[in-house]
């Protein structure tokens, strides 16, 4: 298995195009799942403090290092700054907490999880903080502008806590604004991307700026339907989509591999999550083969602009994607 890499700006670090998603893995299973993923061949781990399992991700990585499966320098670790920690002093504190939980000396890529500053929740009160203040149902915004948060992210690079910085869930307007003042340009943008939500013009524009793009939720409704989200349950699963199934049959592949390969054909990284070792293996087996242009075009026709990871959809009064 050859892992393909993408070069990140401005560090020049090589990031595997395919990685492993760490969200929605129950903490008690996480260390073993991560260990298995390393054994199977994954070298990038997409985690975050708000996934409620960052310590266990670190345990799995350390188990694999101690057993001689990999060295630290072969692993690419992503973590994410949660919304309640955008203020300068909280950015540093949050990053240090992730480093401590992971048991690492540096994070390869640190992303702002959402472009939403929420009122701080001290770690001793609740960690991970979640969206709302303890005991409340609605989010409370905090007065922290993005340029303040980004400057604090830049200082993490200056001080060697993280090697690269980027963001997730940012729209084009905010990216344009940030590019007008940043000292260190973002290395990567991670957004929801799958055949039902392709955001083609945005992806191409971001890549043209020299910023790498990673897709999250490459299987579209799958993880959200599993989590009970109504409109994810009512849409046709990508694994059952006739276009995807027909292409899968043509290449003697499974539908999941077709969804992932379609992303890689756009030079967009992927971070599929699976707790099953056999699906981990098949999801990783998407390199070293190509899809014909006509099949890419057929998948391009499936776009519905259908977003699943939207705080508004989840019932919060927070229209960040409108
Ligand atoms: N930045 C953000 O805001 C954000 C948001 C969402 C996700 N993410 C990142 O993206 C990662 C992946 O996204 P996601 O968690 O939404 O899930 P996903 O990878 O799109 O889908 C995972 C779901 O599909 C199942 N599955 C995995 N491989 C399969 C296959 N080959 N065939 C059939 N079913 C398969 C999994 O079940 P099993 O486990 O049983 O296999 C799970 O239910 C996350 O773990 C996280 O790292 C980031």
CA distance 122 to 141: 15
Question: Which residues are known catalytic residues?
Answer: 51
Q: Which of 80-89, 146-155, 270-279, 306-315 is least confident?
A: 306-315
- Write down the pLDDT at residue 202: 98
Residue 314 reports pLDDT greater than 90: no
Residue closest by Cα to atom 37 of ligand 1 = 274
74 CA → ligand 1 middle, Å:
23
pLDDT digits (tens, 9 = 90+) for 22-69: 999 999 999 999 999 999 999 999 999 999 999 999 999 999 999 999
Cis ω for the linkage preceding 10 (within 30 of 0): yes
Global confidence as pTM: 0.98
Verify whether ligand 1 is closer than 6 Å to residue 239 (CB atom): yes
Residue closest by Cα to atom 26 of ligand 1 = 274
- The CATH class of 5-220+266-274 is alpha beta
Instruction: Tell me phi and psi for residue 28, to 5 degrees.
Output: -70, -15
Average pLDDT estimate for 131-153: 95
Contact 86, 74 (CB under 8 A): no
- Residue carrying structure tokens 């990585």: 61
Choosing from 79, 274, 277, 313 the residue with most ligand 1 atoms within 8 A of its CB, the one to mutate for a pocket test is: 274
Q: List the chain domain ranges.
A: 5-220+266-274
Choosing from 51, 222, 318 the residue with most ligand 1 atoms within 8 A of its CB, the one to mutate for a pocket test is: 222
Measure the N-to-C terminal CA separation of the chain; round to a whole number of Å: 41
Which residues partner with 269 through β-bridges?
A: 214
Residue closest by Cα to atom 27 of ligand 1 = 274
Verify whether ligand 1 is closer than 6 Å to residue 218 (CB atom): yes
304 CA → ligand 1 middle, Å:
20
CA distance 108 to 15: 9
- Write down the pLDDT at residue 312: 84
- Buried residues in 80-94 as b, exposed as e (16+ CB within 10 A): bbbbbbbbeebbbeb
pLDDT digits (tens, 9 = 90+) for 281-296: 999 999 989 999 999 9
Q: How confident is the model at residue 3 (pLDDT cuts 50, 70, 90)?
A: confident
Tokens standing for residue 156? 């993490």
pLDDT digits (tens, 9 = 90+) for 91-141: 999 999 999 999 999 999 999 999 999 999 999 999 999 999 999 988 999
Contact 276, 267 (CB under 8 A): no
Instruction: Tell me phi and psi for residue 12, to 5 degrees.
Output: 80, 5
């Amino acid at each position: 298995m050859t892992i393909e890499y993408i070069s990140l700006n401005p560090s020049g670090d090589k990031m595997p195009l395919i990685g492993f998603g760490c969200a929605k893995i129950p903490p008690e299973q996480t260390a073993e799942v991560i260990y298995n993923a390393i054994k199977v061949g994954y070298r990038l781990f997409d985690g975050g403090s708000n996934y409620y399992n960052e310590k266990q991700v670190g345990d799995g990585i350390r188990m694999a290092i101690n057993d001689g499966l990999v060295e630290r320098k072969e692993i690419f670790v992503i973590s994410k700054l949660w919304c309640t920690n955008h203020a300068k002093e909280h950015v540093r504190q949050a990053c240090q907490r992730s480093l401590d939980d992971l048991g690492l000396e540096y994070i390869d890529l640190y992303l702002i999880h959402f472009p939403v500053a929420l009122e701080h929740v001290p770690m001793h009160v609740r960690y991970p903080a979640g969206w709302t203040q303890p005991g409340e149902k609605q989010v409370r915004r905090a007065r922290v502008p993005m340029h303040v948060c980004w400057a604090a992210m830049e200082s993490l690079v200056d001080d060697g806590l993280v090697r690269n910085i980027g963001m997730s869930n940012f729209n084009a307007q905010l990216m344009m604004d940030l590019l007008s003042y940043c000292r260190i340009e973002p290395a990567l943008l991670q957004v929801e991307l799958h055949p039902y939500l392709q955001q083609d013009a945005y992806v191409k524009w971001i890549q043209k700026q020299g910023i790498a793009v990673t897709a999250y939720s490459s299987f579209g409704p799958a993880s959200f339907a599993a989590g009970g989200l109504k409109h994810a349950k009512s849409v046709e699963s990508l694994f059952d989509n006739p276009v995807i199934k027909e292409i899968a049959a043509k290449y003697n592949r499974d539908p999941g591999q077709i969804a992932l390969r379609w992303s890689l054909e756009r030079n967009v990284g992927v971070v599929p999550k699976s707790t099953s070792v056999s699906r981990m293996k098949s999801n990783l087996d998407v390199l070293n083969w190509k899809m014909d242009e006509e099949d890419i075009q057929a998948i391009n026709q499936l776009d519905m602009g259908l977003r699943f990871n939207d705080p508004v959809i989840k019932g919060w009064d927070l229209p960040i994607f409108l």
